[in-house]
Amino acid sequence: MPDSHASLPSGQDVVTDDPSLSTAPARENDYTVPALFRGLRILEMFSSRRKVLTTNDFAEELGTTNSAIYRIVITLTDMGYLKKIARNTYELGPQVISLGFSYLASRDLVEVVAPHLDTLRDQTTMSCHLSVREGTDAIYLYRAFAAQRMSVNIPIGSRLPCHVSAMGRILLTVLGEDELQQLYRQIRLDDYPPPAPQNLPALKDAIEEARRQGWVESRSDYATAIATGLYDHTGHLVGAINISGPDAMMADERRRLLLRGALMDCARHINHELGGLHRR
């Protein structure tokens, strides 16, 4: 493929509507635009693990030739959606990042999370919650309440100390040791009975375990909760979600394992919408 942005001679536009060069699925009354389809597919090829791609990569995945995608790549580069970093080698350009961040920033966390927690609640018949951290408290922002006789019902707006709850300990995983020390410098932890951590070293151990596992399971007041974190497009922890129920419904280890798997799948879908990556 030529390395410059020079125009091709008139009549030699290598982008064609020849169906044999289109990777779009064939449909009856198909009105897709092959060039547009290929351009969007090129942008979709990039990921956190594939930050730099070549024109050969584009052509191979699209099942076509370098010359067939030449004008598409040049157009994406000129518009800022691709950035050329070496001969025939590209990364995502600032226009993609700018548009993506603007969209993600415009979406309220509850707006994104709510339908996923509702679905998780319906699938598991267990209550599910979303919380964020403010100081040493986890604030409940959303509740998908399981309307059954035995269920966990924590109202929206409730505050629970982070160290006593599964979501709270997940929310503390973003803090370094010095930050944690400063935050809890004048806070008594033994006001709450075990299994809540009774001192700062025990809390640090619990947070490290949460960080390592990517999830927390916690029992308190005859109820059990399993929690994990949510990550945005910057990779920052922006909240935590849980699935919770009375011990009578959470006693079976195999059931808890299935519920944890459902929770992690839910977080993975939410993180995808937030532009982040599920860590586990």
Residue 14 forms part of a structural domain = no
pLDDT of residue 239: 94
Range of the domain at 152: 104-274
> In this structure, what CATH number is given to the domain that contains residue 220?
3.30.450.40
Mean pLDDT along residues 109-113: 90
pLDDT over 90 at 267, yes or no: yes
Q: For the packed helices 70-78 and 55-62, what is the interaxial angle rounded to 10 degrees?
A: 120
Residue 151 forms part of a structural domain = yes
Lowest mean pLDDT among 95-109, 170-184, 202-216, 227-241: 95-109
88 & 110 share domain:
no
- Of the two residues 73 and 156, the one the predictor is more confident about is 73
**What's the whole-number average pLDDT of the chain?**
83
Residue 51 forms part of a structural domain = yes
Return d(Cα 154, Cα 239) in angstroms, integer: 17
* pLDDT > 70 fraction of the chain, expressed in percent and rounded: 81
Position 264, amino acid = M
Confidence at 19, pLDDT banded by 50, 70, 90: very low
Which burial class, exposed, middle or buried, applies to 248 when counting CB atoms under 10 A from its CB (0-12, 13-18, 19+)? Answer: exposed
51 & 119 share domain:
no
pLDDT over 60 at 243, yes or no: yes
Compute the C-alpha angle 271/230/110, nearest 5°.
85
pLDDT over 50 at 27, yes or no: yes
Return d(Cα 190, Cα 76) in angstroms, integer: 59
Return d(Cα 141, Cα 215) in angstroms, integer: 19
**Across the strands, what pairs with 223?**
220, 246
216 & 84 share domain:
no
Q: How many CA atoms lie within 13 A of 245 on its CB side?
A: 20
77 & 131 share domain:
no
> In this structure, what CATH number is given to the domain that contains residue 86?
1.10.10.10
pLDDT over 70 at 97, yes or no: no
pLDDT over 80 at 151, yes or no: no
Confidence at 149, pLDDT banded by 50, 70, 90: low
155 & 264 share domain:
yes
User: pTM for this structure?
Assistant: 0.63
Residue where a domain terminates, one of 57, 92, 127: 92
Residue 13 forms part of a structural domain = no
Mean pLDDT along residues 26-31: 60
pLDDT over 70 at 43, yes or no: yes
54 & 139 share domain:
no
- Of the two residues 154 and 66, the one the predictor is more confident about is 66
CB atoms near residue 145 (< 10 Å): 16
Residue where a domain terminates, one of 92, 122, 139: 92
Residue 11 forms part of a structural domain = no
Mean pLDDT along residues 226-240: 91
124 & 156 share domain:
yes
135 & 235 share domain:
yes
132 & 214 share domain:
yes
Residue 211 forms part of a structural domain = yes
CB 52 within 8 A of CB 92: no
70 & 119 share domain:
no
166 & 253 share domain:
yes
Residue where a domain terminates, one of 92, 120, 150: 92
Total domains in the fold of the chain: 2
pLDDT of residue 25: 54
pLDDT over 60 at 140, yes or no: yes
Confidence at 188, pLDDT banded by 50, 70, 90: confident
79 & 111 share domain:
no
Return d(Cα 38, Cα 208) in angstroms, integer: 45
Best CA proximity match to 239, nearest among 139, 164, 135, 131: 131
Residue 12 forms part of a structural domain = no
Phi, psi of 46 (to 5 degrees): -80, 145
pLDDT of residue 15: 35
Residue 262 forms part of a structural domain = yes
For residue 34, say if its preceding peptide bond is cis, omega within 30 degrees of 0.
no
pLDDT over 70 at 116, yes or no: yes
Please write the tens of the pLDDT for every residue from 47-79: 767 889 999 999 999 999 999 999 999 999 999
CB atoms near residue 222 (< 10 Å): 9
